[in-house]
Amino acid sequence: MKIFLNKRIPKIGIELLNHPNIELIFPDKEELTHEEWLGYCKQSDALLSVGKSKFNEEFFEECPNIKAIALFSVGYDHVDIDAATKHGVAITNTPDVLSNATSDTSFLLMQMVARYAFFNLNKVRNGEWSSNFNPIANLGQELKGKTLGILGLGRIGYEMAKKCIGAFDMPIIYHNRNRHPEIEKELNAKYVSFDELLEQSDVITIHANYTAKDQHKFNKESFNKMKSSAILVNTARGGFVNEEDLYLALKNGDIFGAGLDVTEKEPLAKDSKLNTLDNICIFPHIGSATVEARSGMARVAAENIVAFVEGKKLPTIVNPSVFDN
């Protein structure tokens, strides 16, 4: 079968794809136009897709030969799952393998914001470290005993909770589509409404799966309900946060600070107003950027492709009902 891999992935994935029944198709250059990318898709039986290419009704109609897409990601909000299922296309993702790396990133962002670390690092680099000691300037806050509010207590949220309990003895509250009684007992976590999460949390960290109805879930109304000392951390999807409202909330002191690994448009524009603020730390979507996580993602994505080629059960299929017909 012809398998299109649009970007190079870690070695373990390539080794698995070195299969007698796979003809691996690589692009002849790093960056492809949409038309070039689509051309490769039209000549392939399946894709191992790196990035956020849109897979919608139009795509599946244009590429009827495609019968499986292995995503090099946990999230699949860029895929129309209903359309994929209708067209008989199996969709897989890479859960579990990046939970630790992404929660590490959330944990780091929380601390960076709490202590104005990014702002102070830039002061040193810009030669603005003054010898005039000011005991009330740029004061951060300690995290010990502060309440951690988790939106989406799944695999990544669970790892984040464990880190915060172990390091800072932080009480855990959470809001989910569904409750997790066993995790509540293990973490001594309390289930709350979304409004209660906003009102009671000292730190809110976003780990939920993103859907269209979640767009701008964190907006002016949300920020007004949060504590003025609260920190917002987002390593999930940029669409959760209304960035204009976040800018105003940070500028006006409605919340203490924010740490983002994701933004609505990536890369973030250099002239974004968010870049003018001292109380925000923004990373360029590095949540899974570790050797261990990316190798794990390559392995899982490749295992799904090999299973598809061999006619076996796909290990991490998102839409298992595709095989019901």
Which one from 237, 243, 294, 299 is the annotated catalytic residue? 237
Q: How far is CA 253 from the centre of its chain?
A: 26
The span from the CA of 296 to the CA of 93, in Å, is: 12
Q: Is 237 a catalytic residue?
A: yes
Measured in residues, the chain has a length of 325
Which one from 15, 62, 266, 292 is the annotated catalytic residue? 266
**Cα dihedral across residues 306, 89, 267, 138: positive or negative:** negative
Q: Is 180 a catalytic residue?
A: no
The span from the CA of 300 to the CA of 312, in Å, is: 14
What would the two tokens of residue 272 be?
A: 């974004």
Distance, first Cα to last Cα, the chain: 22
Which one from 78, 87, 216, 285 is the annotated catalytic residue? 285
What would the two tokens of residue 96 be?
A: 């579990």
User: Strand, helix or coil at 39?
Assistant: helix
Q: Do 125 and 297 contact (CB within 8 A), yes or no?
A: no
Q: Which of 184, 194, 143 is nearest to 164 (CA)?
A: 143
Rg (C-alpha) for the chain, rounded Å, is: 22
Q: DSSP H helical segments within the chain, as ranges?
A: 11-17, 34-42, 57-62, 81-86, 99-114, 117-125, 155-168, 181-187, 194-200, 220-225, 243-251, 291-309
Q: In what helix (H) or strand (E) does residue 260 lie, and over which residues does it extend?
A: strand 257-260
Q: Is 266 a catalytic residue?
A: yes
**Phi (first) and psi of residue 277, to 5 degrees:** -95, 150
Q: Which of 89, 24, 34, 19 is nearest to 60 (CA)?
A: 89
List, as one string, the DSSP characters of 159-175.
HHHHHHHHHH---EEEE
- The residues carrying an active-site annotation are 237, 266, 285
